[in-house]
Structure 1
Amino acid sequence: MNKPLAYRMRPKSIDTIVGQAHLVGENKIIWRMVKARQLSSMILYGPPGIGKTSIASAIAGSTKYAFRTLNAATDKKKDLEIVVEEAKMSGTVILLLDEVHRLDKPKQDFLLPHLENGRIVLIGATTENPYISIHPAIRSRAQIFELKPLTHSDIQTALRRAINDEENGLGNFSLTVEENVLEYFASATQGDLRSALNALELAVKSTAPNEDGSIVITKEIAEECLQKKSLTHDKDGDAHYNAISAFQKSIRGSDVHAALHYLARLIEAGELKVIIRRLIVTAYEDIGLANPAGVARVVTAAEAAEKIGFPEARIPLANAVIEMCLSPKSNSAISAVDSALQDVRNGLSGDIPAHLKDAHYQGAKELGSGVNYKYPHNHEDHWIKQQYLPDSIKSKKYYEPSETSKFENALKNQLARYDNK
């Protein structure tokens, strides 16, 4: 069975890697390691299809060390033992361990001594943040390198290389690729070179040649072969949490265009529950008392979106996001409660004043509980001055009103009235 184009086009030397110039460019860290043949174990992390396996393959090709590939999730300890035995017999082996974040403790314990004595040079590949997902014992024995998403130019360079390569690519076909096809592949695959290469190969091999044997790849053919590339968005990985973070920060920063972009990413990933939760949290955290009516409208929009589901849910969600971005902002409520929480956690509490204590049980009066409590509704304006905080913190002030809206200005004025009475 023929191997896929993406597999055949994997670089065989460090100098032929596409992208990742910050790691493999001349005089950069991995380039220097390879040229000096001073390899250390490393963890490569980033989205799928951007070159983790290619870098490992190129390192092996450039150094002429044996190269083996295993998967931490599916391959067993016995498979690791075979690689280690090979290393004992022939010297250094470069082991690409895919999904390294799923390496269990027995495999890890077996592998560690061989990493330390240099028999195995581990190149762990993962889409998840290694600082969170990988055990410290492995992490401490490896350098961690983050791979960057490939640019459209990087992907087009790799596609042209595949089109012209007669040994491993498509160079033996009489091939014409229309001008906008490579740009389409580069943009629609969202940085996944593997998907772009394999879609190109499918387009070529599924298109009937003309009478002269030539094959013409149009954008329509490309679209059929690629279909729809799913947004790179692992629900347990960085892409997920980064999109959520950027979404809320864009709303907080009043950038309606950026907020809509990140909303679209989350919609495309089907994250309705995540969007709803984040919108409600953001409404109360960042809009807050500056626009309570707007907060209520966000909750209503979120409830509507949940009831109707995608694709129509995008409409109330967009309404909510636009209003939130352009609304006045206030974080006074979250700042107030967090300040109070910090005091409680630091032991600043004290005894509740006696007149506020529960007085519904027999004997409470003898204990002084509830005695001398002043019922506000019996007084003018339903307010009477009395102490509510414990003695040790009776002068504490937690709520500091913002002045971003008429509503919170009114709260500020009312607070000042009570404080000054």
Structure 2
Amino acid sequence: MTSSSERTFISSAAPTTPLAARMRPHDLSSYIGQSHILGEGQPLTQALHNKQVHSMLLWGPPGTGKTTLAQIIANEVDANLITLSAVSSGVKDIREAMAMTHPGITTIVFVDEVHRFNKSQQDAFLPYIESGAITFIGATTENPAFSCNNALLSRCRVYVLQALSDDELIGIAKQALLTDSWLVEQELQIDDDALLTLASLASGDARRTLLYLELGAQLAIDKHITKVTIAQAAGQKVAQFDQQGDHYYDLLSAFHKSVRGSSSDGALYWYTRYL
């Protein structure tokens, strides 16, 4: 029999839509992070205030707001938004999407994981970008200099999105606790050190922050979220390592530099990270 101290207290079933989707911002005022490109006076911010938009590539780690920013840009300039995923789309899908454009209507084509498109698939966008039929926004976790062809790069402005700071992640978590209807209904209490643990385990990823927060809310005892609750929600932390991607080469470079510099401790450290 379960004792009262071991029971969790959830007053209603969690929604089927993930918290990250429920908390997705719809305008710049509610968007947290990336102040280096969205701060006051920044070129992208000024362009959006003037209802202007240009083709761009959004490059950054997962959970930094690339998809959300593309949707906000479309909202800010009152554009028709067509979304494609490079994981599941081909040239045929691209051409069908292009057929949906209309003269006189601003159309943004957003391609998620654009680095997964091959050269011919990326080239399929070029005539439409060149003619002004569409504004292209691509999102990628890989360096565009290596993952996108030169013809596409020459027509797009690259914006580098940064991993969110701990303060920004804590701000996102607090915002969710105050505004998400399901979380508000739970009347949860969360310790300050639980918020710090949450931000640390999320490693700059807003999506992961909200995932751990939602799981922590479901695991909360007496409607109280502690750092232990968050650690249980996060489970075992898996190191980020994208084979053949930027992190792969960053680790190799660090290892080589340590060897060349005769730093045995550094070489051993980076070799261990590589393994």
- Relative to the length of structure 2, the TM-score reads 0.84
Higher RCO, Cα 8 Å, sep 6+: 2
- Which runs of 5 or more structure 1 residues have no equivalent in the other structure? 273-421
Counterpart of 2:73 (choices 56, 59, 63) is 59
Higher helix share: 1
Alignment partner of 1:101 is 2:115:
yes
- Which one-letter code corresponds to 1:21 in the other structure? S
Kept in 1: contact 2:52–2:77 (CA 8 A):
no
Give aligned-pair identity as a percent.
35
Q: Give the secondary-structure state (helix, strand or coil) at the position aligned to 1:172.
A: helix
| CA–CA separation in structure 2 for the residues paired with 1:17 and 1:260 | 41
Alignment partner of 1:187 is 2:200:
yes
Alignment partner of 1:200 is 2:208:
no
Counterpart of 2:225 (choices 217, 231, 253) is 217
1:41-60 aligned within 5 A:
41-60=55-74
Task: Give the structure 2 partner of residue 142 of structure 1.
Answer: 156
Kept in 1: contact 2:78–2:106 (CA 8 A):
no
Kept in 2: contact 1:175–1:216 (CA 8 A):
yes
Aligned pair in 2 of structure 1 residues 31, 239: CA closer, same or farther (>3 Å)?
same
Displacement after TM superposition at 1:105 (Å): 4.0
Counterpart of 1:243 (choices 251, 255, 260) is 251
Task: Give the structure 1 partner of residue 100 of structure 2.
Answer: 86
Kept in 2: contact 1:251–1:259 (CA 8 A):
yes
Task: Please say which of residues 133-142 and 116-125 is displaced more in the overlay.
Answer: 116-125
Q: Give the secondary-structure state (helix, strand or coil) at the position aligned to 1:170.
A: helix
| CA–CA separation in structure 2 for the residues paired with 1:53 and 1:16 | 15
- Which one-letter code corresponds to 2:175 in the other structure? R
| CA–CA separation in structure 1 for the residues paired with 2:154 and 2:257 | 33
Displacement after TM superposition at 1:37 (Å): 2.0
Kept in 1: contact 2:23–2:180 (CA 8 A):
no
Task: Give the structure 2 partner of residue 26 of structure 1.
Answer: 40
Task: Give the structure 1 partner of residue 3 of structure 2.
Answer: none
1:165-314 aligned within 5 A:
165-166=179-180, 170-207=183-220, 210=222, 215-250=223-258, 252=260, 262=270, 266=273, 271-272=274-275
Task: Give the structure 1 partner of residue 136 of structure 2.
Answer: 122
Displacement after TM superposition at 1:263 (Å): 5.0
| CA–CA separation in structure 2 for the residues paired with 1:15 and 1:254 | 50
- Which one-letter code corresponds to 1:242 in the other structure? D
Q: Which digits, 9 at most, give the CA deviation of each residue in 1:369-389, with x for residues without a partner?
A: xxxxxxxxxxxxxxxxxxxxx
Displacement after TM superposition at 1:183 (Å): 1.0
- Which runs of 5 or more structure 2 residues have no equivalent in the other structure? 1-14
- Which one-letter code corresponds to 2:186 in the other structure? F
Which runs of 4 or more aligned residues in structure 1 lie more than 4 Å from their structure 2 counterparts after TM superposition? Answer: 250-264
Report the aligned-residue RMSD. Answer: 2.4
Displacement after TM superposition at 1:170 (Å): 2.6
- Which one-letter code corresponds to 2:230 in the other structure? A
Larger Rg: 1
Displacement after TM superposition at 1:89 (Å): 6.6
Q: Give the secondary-structure state (helix, strand or coil) at the position aligned to 1:86.
A: coil
Aligned residues: 261
- Relative to the length of structure 1, the TM-score reads 0.57
Task: Give the structure 2 partner of residue 75 of structure 1.
Answer: 89
| CA–CA separation in structure 2 for the residues paired with 1:204 and 1:70 | 33
